[in-house]
C-alpha cells in the first residue's frame, strides 16, 4: 500500500486518506488507520490510493467523482462534514459508543454484519465487544475464536454458563450473568447495547442494561416461533428502547405490543446481507471437508436440532426418532450438536448411544464457521431439525427444509419448509424426507433483501442521546369492536376443489371458511383423454372466474375414487365406476397448466378431511367417516392425522366383510358392506322387486323409460312396503356390523355417517352397536354429517391445510 506522492511542503492531514473501491466505483472514504484494517480484512483486493476508474461513477455522498486526485480529500471531508451535521442535528456531536454482546454461534451470525459495519465507520462509532454464554465453552466449540478470526477486539469475556443443561442450570446462568454484567457495563459506559433474539443470556443482558439506564437496540423482535423463546423475546422487547425487525408481520406485532412506531426499524435480517452476497465457486471443497470426498451437491443432509425447554422429554424422543429416520434414509448427513438449552446433554447422549459420531454416513460437529455453513445448506439435498436457521436463512437458497415439532411452528416460512408438527413416529419423519429430499424451491426473501446493515447504521446515527431515556408505550385508544376477525382477513384465500365421481365431474371455488363460492358440474367423460381435457378446461375457467370473485387460488385439491398415492399425485387403481383411470398422474398436467400446486387423494379420505376442518370432526383427535353413496367409502383420522396405510389402501371400509355367504361385491369378494348398503346394492335389490312386481305400492308410479334406482326402494319403504323395509334394514345392519368392527379395531370417539343414505341408516347402526359392540365401545357418538358437499370440501381442505401452513 502506497501513500499519495503529491508534493507538500507541510504535511496536510487531509492527504492521509484512502478510497476503497467496489465493483462499481468508490464505496468508502476512510482515514489511513482504518484503511490498514480494511486492507487486512479485505486482503488488499479493493484498496487503492487516489485511484478511480474513468467514467460516470458517483461517490457515496452523491457528488460526482473528481478527476483531479487532490480533490478526493476535499470530497472526503465534505462527506464527513455532512454526516457530522446530521449527527449534531440529532444531538450526537460525539461518537456513539456501541456495545455488542454475543452469546452463541447463532446470534453472532446476525450480529457480525452489524459489527463489521460499525467498525468500518470509526468516525461515527466506538465498538466494544462483550462475549458470554456458550461461546466460551469447549463442548460447544469455543466459538469466541471465530470472533477473533474476524479481527474484532473482545473487550470482555464473561463465563456465565452454569453447567447442567437443565431448567435449573438455565435459571442459574441468568442469575450469574446478572451478577457479572453490571461491572462490565459500568466500565464500558456504552450509549447503547445491541441485543439479539430470544436467548436466556440476552434476557440477562437486556435486564442489566435497562436497570442501569442504558439504551437497548433489540434485533429480531416481534417474531413468533412457538416455545419459551417467544416469552423471552417479547420480554426483551418490553425492555428495549429501539427495535430492528426483519418482516412486516414482526413490525405489526411490535406495534400491537404498544411499541413506539418511531423506534421501530424494518430493516431485514442482517445475516441476509451475507447470505445474498455469498457466491463461493469453491463450495465443493467445503462439502468435501465437512461431509466427505465422494459426496455430490444435493445428495446430503444437514441436521440441526435443539431441545424444546417446555417439553424436554418429548424433544429428546423426537431427536431419537429423527436419528433413526436418518439412519434408515441412508444419506450422508452432517449433524450439528444442539445448543446449550436444558435437555442438550440428554440429546448428546442419544447421539452417542446410536453411534452417530462413528457411523460412516454421519459427521457430528460442534461448530461450522458461518461462511462455510452457508455453502453447506445452500447445496444440501435437505435441512432437517428445529433450528430457526432452517425456516429463516435456508429459504434464501430454496433448499428443502423439514421443520420438526413446535419450536418454530409460528415462524413465517417460504414454500421450501415442510412442518412435521407431531413428529411422533419414525415413519412420519421418513416420509417427510422422501417428500423433500433433493427438491429445489424458489428462493425466498421473507427475512431480508441484503441491505439490512446500511439501514441499521443509519438508524443508529439518528438516535438522539439528548432525548429522555424513559421509553414510552403507545397504547391504542379503547373502542368497542376494534378487533378484526382473522377468518375475515383470510376468506378471500381459496382453493379449487375437483370431485371425480362415477357420474359427474365437479369443480368448485371454496373459501377458507368452507363456503362454496361457485360450482361447475359436467358429466364425467368415459375416456382418459376426454376426462383430463375437461378437468383442465373447467379448472382454467374457474381460476379465471376467481379473479372476478376476488378469490386468491392457493392450489388445486382433487378427490377421486380408487387407490391414490397422495405423495406423487397418482391414481394407482380406480373403481369400476370410473373407467380408464388407473396409473394416472393427475398432479403433473394440472400443475403445469395452471402453475399451481396440486394435491390428490381418495374421496373417502377427502370426506374425513372435510369433517376435520369444517364438520363434526373439528378438534376431535380420533374419528372415522363412512360415506354411503353409490359405493361405500371412508376415512380414518387418528391423533388428528389422516391414515393412508403402507400401500395407500387404509380405510377401504366398504370392503369390510360382514358375511361369508353374502352377495357379490364389485371388488370380486362376497359379503362386503358395499354389497349390502351401497346405492348400487340397493338399486340391484329394487330392480329385483320391480321385476317381480313387488316394488310399487299405493301412491307410487314409475314411467316406462324411467330407470329403477335406490330412490324408488326408499320411497317404497316409506310407503309401507315390507320387503323394501326389510332390504333397508338388512343394509343398515350390514353397515352397523362394519362399524362395530371399526370400533373394535380403531376405538374412535366419533363415527360420522356421510352421503345420501346416511340418514336412512343411522338409527339401525346405533341399534347394532348397542347389541353387538363391546361395553367399552358402546359410548361412541354416531352422527350424520352436516356438510352439504364433503367431497368438494375435503378436496379444498387438502389445499387450505397444506398451503396456508405447510403441515404434514
Q: What is the DSSP letter of 103?
A: -
> In 3-state terms, what secondary structure has residue 279?
coil
* 595 torsion bin: left (phi>0), alpha (psi -120 to 50), beta (else): left
Residue at grid coordinates 360420522: 752
Range list of H helices, 49-136: 71-89, 105-119
Q: Which residues contact 262 (CB under 8 A, 6 or more apart)?
A: none
| Alpha-carbon span 798 to 516, nearest angstrom | 15
b/e burial code for range 54-63 (CB count within 10 A of at least 16 → b): eeeeebeeee
Task: Report the sign of the C-alpha dihedral through residues 87, 89, 92, 94, in that order.
Answer: positive
* CA-closest candidate to residue 605, choices 569, 644, 639, 577: 644
Cα Rg, the chain, nearest whole Å? 34
What order do you get walking across the sheet with 242-245 strand by strand?
154-158, 125-132, 96-102, 192-196, 215-219, 242-245, 264-266
Catalytic residue selected from 166, 603, 789, 801: 603
Cell of 287: 462439502
Q: By C-alpha distance, which of 374, 425, 415 is closest to 391?
A: 415
DSSP 697: -
Q: Which pairing describes strands 17-22 and 47-48: parallel, antiparallel, or unpaired? A: antiparallel
C-alpha cell belonging to residue 533: 381435457
133 and 162 Cβ atoms separated by less than 8 Å: no
Give yes or no: 201 in active site.
no
CA–CA dist 422, 424 (Å, integer): 5
Strand partners, 627: 633, 754
User: 3-class DSSP state for residue 559?
Assistant: strand
Would you say 111 and 270 are in contact if contact means Cβ atoms under 8 Å apart? yes
Q: What is the DSSP string of 435-492?
A: HHTT--PPP--TT--S-HHHHHHHHHHT--TTS-SS----PPP--TT----HHHHHTT
Q: Catalytic residue positions?
A: 603
Amino acid at each position: 500500500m502506497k501513500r499519495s506522492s503529491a508534493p507538500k511542503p507541510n504535511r496536510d492531514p487531509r492527504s492521509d486518506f484512502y478510497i476503497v473501491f467496489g465493483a462499481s466505483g468508490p464505496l468508502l472514504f476512510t482515514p489511513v488507520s482504518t484503511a490498514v484494517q480494511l486492507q487486512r480484512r479485505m486482503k488488499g483486493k479493493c484498496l487503492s490510493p487516489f485511484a478511480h476508474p474513468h467514467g460516470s461513477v458517483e461517490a457515496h455522498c452523491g457528488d460526482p467523482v473528481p478527476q483531479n486526485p487532490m480533490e478526493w480529500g476535499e470530497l472526503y471531508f465534505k462527506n464527513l462534514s455532512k454526516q457530522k451535521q446530521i449527527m449534531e442535528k440529532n444531538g450526537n456531536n460525539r461518537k456513539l459508543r456501541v456495545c455488542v454482546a454475543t452469546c452463541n454461534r447463532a446470534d453472532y451470525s446476525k450480529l457480525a454484519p452489524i459489527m463489521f459495519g460499525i467498525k468500518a465507520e470509526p468516525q461515527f462509532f466506538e465498538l466494544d465487544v462483550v462475549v458470554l454464554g456458550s461461546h466460551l465453552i469447549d463442548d460447544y466449540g469455543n466459538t469466541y475464536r471465530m470472533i477473533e478470526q474476524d479481527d474484532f477486539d473482545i473487550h470482555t469475556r464473561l463465563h456465565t454458563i452454569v453447567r447442567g443443561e437443565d431448567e435449573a442450570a438455565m435459571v442459574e446462568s441468568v442469575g450469574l450473568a446478572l451478577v457479572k454484567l453490571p461491572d462490565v457495563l459500568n466500565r464500558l459506559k456504552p450509549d447503547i447495547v445491541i441485543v439479539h433474539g430470544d436467548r436466556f443470556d440476552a434476557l440477562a443482558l437486556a435486564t442489566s442494561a435497562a436497570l442501569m439506564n442504558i439504551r437497548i437496540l433489540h434485533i429480531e423482535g416481534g417474531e413468533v416461533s412457538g416455545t419459551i423463546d417467544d416469552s423471552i423475546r417479547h420480554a426483551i422487547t418490553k425492555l428495549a428502547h429501539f427495535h430492528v425487525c426483519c418482516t412486516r408481520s414482526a413490525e405489526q406485532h411490535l406495534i400491537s405490543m404498544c411499541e413506539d412506531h418511531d423506534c421501530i426499524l424494518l430493516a431485514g435480517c442482517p445475516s441476509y446481507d451475507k447470505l445474498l452476497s455469498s457466491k463461493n465457486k469453491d463450495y465443493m471443497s467445503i462439502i468435501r471437508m465437512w461431509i466427505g470426498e465422494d459426496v455430490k451437491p444435493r445428495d446430503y443432509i444437514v441436521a440441526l436440532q435443539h431441545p424444546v425447554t417446555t417439553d424436554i422429554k418429548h424433544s429428546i424422543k423426537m431427536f431419537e426418532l429423527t436419528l433413526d429416520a436418518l439412519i434408515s434414509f441412508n444419506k450422508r448427513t452432517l449433524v450439528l450438536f444442539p445448543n446449550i438449552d436444558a435437555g442438550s446433554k440428554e440429546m448428546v447422549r442419544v447421539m452417542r448411544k446410536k453411534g452417530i459420531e462413528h457411523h460412516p454416513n454421519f459427521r457430528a460437529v460442534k461448530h461450522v464457521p458461518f461462511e462455510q455453513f452457508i455453502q453447506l445448506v445452500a447445496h444440501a439435498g435437505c435441512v432437517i431439525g428445529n433450528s430457526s436457521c432452517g425456516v429463516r436463512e435456508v429459504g434464501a437458497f430454496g433448499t428443502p427444509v423439514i421443520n420438526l415439532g413446535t419450536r418454530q411452528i409460528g415462524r413465517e416460512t417460504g414454500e421450501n419448509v415442510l412442518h412435521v408438527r407431531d413428529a411422533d413416529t419414525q415413519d412420519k419423519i421418513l416420509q417427510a424426507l422422501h417428500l423433500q429430499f433433493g427438491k429445489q424451491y424458489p428462493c425466498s426473501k421473507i427475512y431480508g433483501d441484503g441491505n439490512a446493515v446500511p439501514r441499521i447504521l443509519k438508524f443508529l446515527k439518528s438516535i438522539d442521546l439528548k432525548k429522555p431515556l424513559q421509553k414510552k408505550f403507545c397504547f391504542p385508544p379503547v373502542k368497542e369492536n376494534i378487533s378484526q376477525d382473522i377468518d375475515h382477513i383470510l376468506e378471500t384465500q381459496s382453493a379449487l376443489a375437483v370431485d371425480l365421481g362415477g357420474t359427474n365431474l365437479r369443480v368448485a371455488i371454496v373459501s377458507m371458511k368452507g363456503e362454496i363460492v361457485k360450482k361447475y358440474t359436467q358429466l364425467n367423460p368415459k375416456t382418459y383423454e376426454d376426462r383430463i381435457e375437461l378437468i383442465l378446461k373447467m379448472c382454467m375457467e374457474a381460476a379465471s372466474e376467481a379473479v372476478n370473485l376476488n378469490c386468491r387460488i392457493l392450489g388445486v385439491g382433487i378427490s377421486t375414487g380408487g387407490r391414490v398415492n397422495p405423495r406423487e399425485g397418482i391414481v394407482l387403481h380406480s373403481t369400476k365406476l370410473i373407467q380408464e383411470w388407473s396409473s394416472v398422474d393427475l398432479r403433473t398436467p394440472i400443475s403445469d397448466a395452471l402453475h399451481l400446486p396440486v394435491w390428490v387423494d381418495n374421496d373417502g379420505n377427502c370426506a374425513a378431511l372435510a369433517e376435520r376442518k369444517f364438520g363434526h370432526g373439528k378438534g376431535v383427535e380420533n374419528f372415522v367417516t363412512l360415506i354411503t353413496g353409490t359405493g361405500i367409502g371412508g376415512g380414518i383420522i387418528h391423533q388428528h392425522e389422516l391414515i393412508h396405510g403402507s400401500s395407500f389402501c387404509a380405510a377401504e371400509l366398504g370392503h369390510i366383510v360382514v358375511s361369508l355367504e353374502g352377495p357379490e361385491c364389485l371388488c370380486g369378494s362376497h359379503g362386503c358392506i358395499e354389497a349390502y348398503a351401497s346405492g348400487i346394492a340397493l338399486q340391484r335389490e329394487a330392480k329385483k322387486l320391480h321385476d317381480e312386481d313387488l316394488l310399487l305400492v299405493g301412491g307410487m308410479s314409475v314411467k316406462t323409460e324411467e330407470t329403477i334406482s335406490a330412490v324408488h326402494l326408499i320411497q317404497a319403504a316409506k310407503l309401507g312396503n315390507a320387503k323394501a323395509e326389510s332390504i333397508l334394514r338388512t343394509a343398515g345392519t350390514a353397515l352397523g356390523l362394519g362399524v362395530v368392527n371399526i370400533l373394535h379395531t380403531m376405538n374412535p370417539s366419533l363415527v360420522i355417517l356421510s352421503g345420501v343414505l346416511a340418514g336412512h341408516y343411522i338409527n339401525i347402526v346405533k341399534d347394532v352397536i348397542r347389541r353387538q359392540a363391546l361395553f367399552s365401545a358402546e359410548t361412541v357418538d354416531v352422527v350424520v354429517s352436516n356438510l352439504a358437499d364433503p367431497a368438494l370440501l375435503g378436496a379444498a381442505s387438502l389445499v387450505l391445510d397444506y398451503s396456508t401452513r405447510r403441515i404434514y
